[in-house]
């Protein structure tokens, strides 16, 4: 887990989480995962995003099952993201197309359901701070992306994504690439930030970009003329 990013979350107020899923057993399971982290508190749950948000409009992060009552709710996801809601999508449909479509629609992060236990808390905390969190399944989808409008990733970013997808261990990726674990995370996160330029604009994407600039993950001048700068590597200390 990435302690360096978690440490920066404001300690004053716990992050409010809403869980939207049509299976009560899943809600209970996710609630149990989140309960292990004192900085998180579950404010509302239910199977309808609108009702859940009416019940508690203050939720910082929405955990959304992409399939509700047999219907894929990509449109709802886009609507929430456009309104500035930080949505972490989690789904048992972890095929690359679905994951990339969720990013395009403005999801802050994507978790495959089987990755939940290990990555759920870190993902929600990072999402609350408008920071990217890339779980291995999403890394795989990004590295295998062959769409013509995909962002241009540098060789190092691709390699970091690929090895992270293969091994699920940033420590092992760091040893393999002979760089620090921190740098591995930077490569992976920078690749993810480049995806906030793909698909329709959303307030959440702008927030991710703004935070990435603030954190020094990406340079402001890289945003306007993205493609020409994207292929260059600039290792950070």
Partner 1 sequence: MSTEPGTAGTQTQHVPVPRTPELVMATRAGRAAAAVVRISDRGARIAVVTIALVWHLAIGLPAVLAARSQLAAPQVVVGAWLLVAALGGLAGAWLLRDAALPALPLAALLLAVDVAVFAAAGRSQLFGPANWVWGGLAWFFVVVLWRRPVHWLFALLAAHACTGVAAVVLYGATEAPDLARAIMALYATSSLPAAVFAGGATLTALSRDRAATAATTNAMVAEREAAEQARRDRRERLALVSAAAGEVLTELAQGRADPADPQVQRRCTHAAARLRRLIAESDDVPHPLLHELRAAADLAERNGLPIELVTIGTPPPLPVQVRRSLTDPLIAVLADARDWARLTVVSSSDEVVVALVTPDAAGPEANAPPAGDGDGRVEHRYERDGKIRWTQTRWHR
- List contacts with partner 1 (CB under 8 A): 95-96, 114, 137, 140-141, 143-144, 146, 162, 165-169, 171-172, 175-176
- Tell the smallest beta-carbon distance from residue 169 to partner 1 (Å): 6
Is 110 or 205 the residue whose CB approaches partner 1 more closely? 110
- Tell the smallest beta-carbon distance from residue 162 to partner 1 (Å): 6
Is 32 or 83 the residue whose CB approaches partner 1 more closely? 32
Is 120 or 161 the residue whose CB approaches partner 1 more closely? 161
DSSP the chain: --HHHHTTS-SSSPEEEEEE-S-HHHHHHHHHHHHT-TTEEEEEEES-HHHHHHH-TT-SEEEEESEETTEE-HHHHHHHHHTT-EEEEEES---HHHHHHHHHHT-SEEEEGGGHHHHHHHHHHHHHTT-----HHHHHHHHT---TTPPPPPHHHHHHHHHHHHH--HHHHHHHHTS-HHHHHHHHHHHHHHGGGSSS--HHHHHHHHHHHHTTSS-THHHHTHHHHHT------
| Pairing between β-strand 67-68 and β-strand 71-72 as defined by DSSP bridges | antiparallel
- Tell the smallest beta-carbon distance from residue 206 to partner 1 (Å): 29
- Tell the smallest beta-carbon distance from residue 67 to partner 1 (Å): 13
Is 168 or 179 the residue whose CB approaches partner 1 more closely? 168
Is 28 or 50 the residue whose CB approaches partner 1 more closely? 28
- Tell the smallest beta-carbon distance from residue 166 to partner 1 (Å): 4
- CA distances to 22, 23, 97, 176 from 52, rounded to whole Å, are 12, 14, 27, 44
- Tell the smallest beta-carbon distance from residue 173 to partner 1 (Å): 10
Is 115 or 189 the residue whose CB approaches partner 1 more closely? 115
């Amino acid at each position: 887990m990435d302690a360096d990013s978690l440490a920066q979350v404001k300690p004053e107020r716990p992050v409010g989480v809403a869980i939207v899923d049509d299976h009560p057993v899943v809600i209970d399971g996710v609630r149990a995962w989140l309960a292990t982290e004192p900085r998180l508190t579950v404010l509302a749950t239910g199977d309808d995003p609108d009702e859940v948000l009416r019940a508690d409009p203050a939720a910082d992060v929405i955990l959304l099952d992409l399939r509700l009552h047999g219907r894929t709710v990509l449109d709802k996801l886009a609507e929430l993201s456009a309104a500035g809601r930080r949505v972490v999508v989690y789904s048992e449909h972890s095929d690359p197309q679905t994951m990339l479509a969720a990013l395009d629609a403005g999801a802050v992060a994507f978790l495959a359901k089987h990755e939940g236990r290990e990555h759920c808390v870190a993902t929600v905390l990072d999402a609350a701070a408008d920071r990217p969190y890339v779980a291995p399944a999403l890394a795989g989808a990004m590295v295998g992306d062959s769409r013509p409008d995909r962002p241009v990733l540098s060789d190092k970013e691709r390699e970091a994504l690929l090895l992270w997808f293969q091994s699920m261990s940033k420590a092992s990726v760091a040893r393999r690439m002979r760089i620090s674990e921190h740098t591995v995370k930077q490569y992976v996160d920078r690749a993810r930030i480049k995806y906030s330029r793909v698909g329709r604009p959303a307030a959440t994407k702008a927030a991710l970009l703004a935070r990435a600039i603030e954190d020094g993950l990406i340079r402001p001048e890289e945003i306007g003329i993205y493609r020409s700068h994207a292929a260059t590597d600039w290792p950070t200390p």
